[in-house]
Structure 1
Amino acid sequence: MNGPLQILCLGAGGFIGSHLVERLLHGGHEVTGLDTHDDKLAGVRAHPRFHWVPTDIADRSFDLDAAVAASGLVIDLIAYANPGLYVRMPREIFRLNFTENLRIAEACVLHGRRLIQFSSCEVYGKSLAGVAGDALKDPEDPRHATFSEETSPMIMGPVGKHRWIYASAKALLERVLHAYGLEDRLDYTIVRPFNFIGPRIDYLPSEQEGGLPRVFSYFMEALLTGGTLQLVDGGRQRRTYTYIDDAIDCLARIVDRPEAARRQIFNVGARGNEISIRGLAELMRDIYDARFRRPGQPRATLAEISGRDFYGEGYDDSDRRIPDIAKAQTLLGWQPKSTVRETVEWTMEYYVRGSRRAGRAAPCLNVP
């Protein structure tokens, strides 16, 4: 890194964005953060090198061109990232995740600015084993579910399973960035996160009526209330959970190593942390029982539910996703450190602490 940067962080108020802003400020950078909400940024709102812009990217009164032109680096995290929304509002998912993000990319092309674009591991779609099934001699071999940035095909479900509009929009945006890199020399990096979890990941369902947080938050609320951890389609799907601190370390390396990251796609995930959704539920319940459940508090139960009943018509899913992180290891010198148990337990501790403060959110970190 040559020195501090003027960074425009779009989607700064979200889970990943709030952690990334903290790390960027620690690194001496000047950060302008844009989002519709700032509750996860409480620890940095008064920081002299943080400039808050409370707006929606779709608000045309916000001068996106001027903001991009004034920055040396643009980091775009703007997206809807909850499966329930993919089923309920597919057009809106496409509008934000592709159309609005395309405007950001075009502004970076116009002004010659570097862009770090957050995509998703969902662009890989289904694994070979998930599609071929019994036709494979060894469907459980991890090779069939290990995804490489350079060689893996993207196998989406049918159009009628509109849950895939999120992954399709992300994949299309990636292809457009690649084209801009070829024809206009856009300096871009694409990040494909693999199931980041940690403090501030989501709200609990009871905190937002009609809300659709990710599975960890559903399970967390069931544990806190002695309710039921619902296992969609039996919880057979497998994921590799990555602790947010490990992920942010990789992202900071991408920021600080522009030459190594130029026009590259990086999987960011902890390939050794694979666990089924049922396994996640059982692990969370075991940890909660051992560390957090109070005498007399009812023990949460597990129950199976179909994807259609839980999410609605049009739901589909990826069976298994394991990241090949050789590129991040080689070009960035990055290696995740946290085990799946540590990742889950540290995140649970944050939510338990918050819930026991009379419903108040757990505090954000203060950045010096």
Structure 2
Amino acid sequence: MRILVTGAAGFIASHLCEKLVAFGHEVVGLDNFNDYYSPDLKEMNAKDLEAKGVFIFRVDLNDDLSKVFEKRYDYIYHLAAQPGISSDTTLEEYVINNIYATQNLLDAVLAYNPNLKSFVNIATSSVYGIEATVDETIPAQPVSFYGSTKLAAEQLVLGLQRLGKLKACSIRLYSVFGPRERPEKLYTKLIENLYKDKPFPLFEGSVKHERSFTYVGDIVDGLAAIISKEDLVDGEIINLGTDEVNTTQEGITAVEQIMNKTLIIDNKPPRKGDQQRTAAVIDKAKKLLNYEPKVTLKKGLEEQVRWYKEKFID
């Protein structure tokens, strides 16, 4: 199979590319290498992927995509997005990179690649709102620009599916962590600050937040399982995470134990748009994809600390 993965040089997508290559598929990546976080980290991921035979188009999804579609694809995994809930990111940036970019990609698919087996949209538990503890039948109630624009992107994809123009599904991910995690996210930032003895910014109340922290390897196993099941998942929204729930404090404590260091805390006011609790309901993923997350928080964090040490310390 020939598979296109957008956002390929990023955290989850780079792992997915490697998994698909390991299964013997021809994988083509796409990434705009923007400066939301250090392009050097994306270049590091890209170099590893290219060494494994993944060609990466360096193009923005809002630009002309005709060259990307000079070849036809069997599947597209759409992971590229404007992530996070940073107050430094404007609504316009979320709209451009999550809504307009998705629509431009969909237009290109309809124009150049109409016989696609499946368009796999990667969504987020943030669409559920403050409490992401429900199954896929519950209406979304996003409270952030990120969640709102990702929900809009999801509906652009599923709208075409409902019109019979595209086979597609949307996968809502829960609190993914592991090697290559973005530097502004919890665990990479936590590990870095512990290594460097730097104060860690902790938003008021966040230590009590509960999360379905899901190891990236489990996530990509679930995503890869969609191949050959496209008819089964067509039109479906599927939660992908772990049903194991931990508090942020439990995660901090685990990293402190792994690294045998104590975190210096820099207390900050509450952050607007933060979810209070996520608990992935994954019955549908288990049924349709035979999905079964295996990696515990502690084991996954050991892998993430090992990766960080290998890439940035040794």
Does TM, scored on the shorter chain, surpass 0.5? yes
Equivalent pairs counted in the alignment come to 301
Shift of 1:179: 2.1
Residue 321 (1) aligns with residue 278 (2) = yes
Alpha-carbon distance between aligned partners in 2 of 1:279 and 1:167, rounded to the nearest angstrom: 25
Instruction: Give 1:175-190 correspondences, 5 Å limit.
Output: 175-190=155-170
SS for the counterpart of 2:181 is coil
1:221 to 183, 189, 192: 192
The worse-fitting range, judged by mean Cα deviation, of 340-349 and 115-124 is 340-349
Shift of 1:87: 4.6
Contact 1:68 1:107 in 2 (8 A): no
Instruction: Give 1:248-263 correspondences, 5 Å limit.
Output: 248-263=220-235
Gaps of 5+ in 2: 34-42
Gaps of 5+ in 1: 128-144, 158-163, 204-212, 294-298, 309-314, 358-368
The match for 2:39 is: none
C-alpha change, 1:125 and 1:47, in structure 2 (3 Å) is same
C-alpha change, 1:214 and 1:74, in structure 2 (3 Å) is same
Shift of 1:34: 1.1
Q: How far does the alpha carbon of each residue in 1:92-125 deviate from its partner, in whole angstroms, 9 at most, with x for none?
A: 1111111111121233344242211111110111
The one-letter code sitting in structure 2 at the alignment partner of 1:100 is A
The match for 1:332 is: 289
The match for 2:238 is: 266
Residue 21 (1) aligns with residue 17 (2) = yes
The match for 1:105 is: 106
Instruction: Give 1:284-299 correspondences, 5 Å limit.
Output: 284-289=255-260, 299=262
Give 1 or 2 for the bigger CA radius of gyration. Answer: 1
Residue 74 (1) aligns with residue 70 (2) = no
SS for the counterpart of 1:7 is strand
Residue 122 (1) aligns with residue 126 (2) = yes
Instruction: Give 1:1-368 correspondences, 5 Å limit.
Output: 5-37=1-33, 38-48=43-53, 50-60=54-64, 62-63=65-66, 67=69, 70-84=72-86, 87-110=88-111, 111-113=114-116, 114-127=118-131, 146-150=133-137, 152-157=138-143, 164-203=144-183, 213-235=184-206, 236-272=208-244, 274-289=245-260, 299-307=262-270, 315-357=272-314
SS for the counterpart of 1:82 is coil
The one-letter code sitting in structure 2 at the alignment partner of 1:156 is P
Contact 2:5 2:27 in 1 (8 A): yes
The one-letter code sitting in structure 1 at the alignment partner of 2:263 is A
SS for the counterpart of 2:189 is helix
Alpha-carbon distance between aligned partners in 2 of 1:354 and 1:46, rounded to the nearest angstrom: 17
* Superposition CA RMSD, Å: 2.0
Alpha-carbon distance between aligned partners in 1 of 2:294 and 2:70, rounded to the nearest angstrom: 34
TM-score, structure 2 normalization: 0.89
Same amino acid, percent of matched pairs: 24
Contact 2:62 2:100 in 1 (8 A): no
C-alpha change, 1:46 and 1:342, in structure 2 (3 Å) is closer
Alpha-carbon distance between aligned partners in 2 of 1:300 and 1:119, rounded to the nearest angstrom: 32
SS for the counterpart of 1:103 is helix
Alpha-carbon distance between aligned partners in 1 of 2:248 and 2:100, rounded to the nearest angstrom: 32
SS for the counterpart of 1:9 is strand
